[in-house]
Structure 1
Amino acid sequence: MLNGLGGLGDMAKMMKTAQEMQGKMTQLQDDLANISVTGESGAGLVTATANAKGVLTGLNIDASIFDPNEKEVVEDLILAAIKDAQAKAADRSASEMKALQQSLGLPTDMKLPF
C-alpha cells in the first residue's frame, strides 16, 4: 500500500491493529458489564450477584437466618457472599481479557490498561 516509503507501511498497519485492539477492548468492557457471577456464603443462605466488573447487582438472604441474636453472623455471611461474588467477577474479567489477548495474538501475561 505504501511501498517505497520505508517503514510507513508498517506504521499504518500498526495503527490499524491498535485501533482494532482498542475497539475490541471497548467491546469487552461493555460485555463485562453484562456478565453475571454469583457468590454465596452459609451454604447458599446468602447469595450476592455482581457483574464481571465487580459491581454488586443483587443480594438474596434466606429468611431463616433472621434472628436478632445472630446479627453479627448475618452481617458476616453478607460480607462473605459479596467478597465471593467480587472475587468471581475479577476471575471472570481476567479470563475474558486473556481470551481477548489470545485472539489478538498478544502474550496472555501482558498487562493491558484496565
Structure 2
Amino acid sequence: MRDLMNLMGKAKEMQAKLQAMQEEIAQMEVEGQSAAGAVKVTLTGKFDMKKLEIDPSLFKEDDVEILEDLILAAHNDAKVKVEEAMQKKSQEMTAGLPLPPGMKLPF
C-alpha cells in the first residue's frame, strides 16, 4: 500500500512538472532563417508565427517564387528548432524515468 501511495505521489509530481514544461514551451520564441538571414521567421512554442522579416533586397517582381521558397524554408527551420527544444525539455524532465524508447509525452 505504501508503494502505491508513493507511486501516486510521483505521478502527481510528474503531472505538475509536465504542466510547467508545457507552459514554458508555449512562452518560448524561436527564430528560423534562410538565405543567410535575409528571411527570418519567429515561431512560438505552439508553432504560431509571431514575426516575419524580409530583407528589402529580395523584393523583385521576377523573384516572387524564390521569396516564397525562402519564407517556407525559414518557417521550417524555426519549426525544427521548436521541436528540438520540446524534445530536449521532455528529456530533461523524464531523466531517470523508466519510459520505453521512443515514447513521447503528450503536448
Flag whether TM exceeds 0.5 (same fold). Answer: yes
Verify the 8 A CA contact 1:49 1:56 in the aligned structure 2: yes
Indicate yes or no: 2:80 matched with 1:80: no
Number of aligned residue pairs: give it. Answer: 105
> Unpaired runs of 5+ in structure 2?
none
- Amino acid of the structure 1 residue aligned with 2:54: I
Query: Percent identical across equivalent pairs?
Result: 39
Instruction: Give the SS at the match of 2:94.
Output: helix
Note the C-alpha offset of 1:32. 0.1
Partner of 1:106: 97
Instruction: Give the SS at the match of 1:54.
Output: coil
Q: Structure 2 vs 1, CA of residues 39 and 107 (structure 1 numbering), >3 Å: closer, same or farther? A: farther
> Unpaired runs of 5+ in structure 1?
1-7
Tell me which structure has the larger Cα radius of gyration. Answer: 1
Residues in 2 aligned to 1:77 and 1:86: alpha-carbon distance in whole angstroms: 14
Verify the 8 A CA contact 1:46 1:60 in the aligned structure 2: yes
Indicate yes or no: 2:38 matched with 1:55: no
Residues in 2 aligned to 1:113 and 1:85: alpha-carbon distance in whole angstroms: 21
Alignment partner of 2:21 out of 12, 24, 28: 28
- Amino acid of the structure 2 residue aligned with 1:63: P
TM-score, normalising length from structure 2?
A: 0.90
Note the C-alpha offset of 1:34. 1.4
TM-score, normalising length from structure 1?
A: 0.85
Verify the 8 A CA contact 1:52 1:89 in the aligned structure 2: yes
Verify the 8 A CA contact 1:53 1:93 in the aligned structure 2: no
- Divergent runs of 4+, >6 A: none
1:32-63 superposed Cα distances (whole Å, 9 cap, x missing partner):
01112111001100001112333222111111
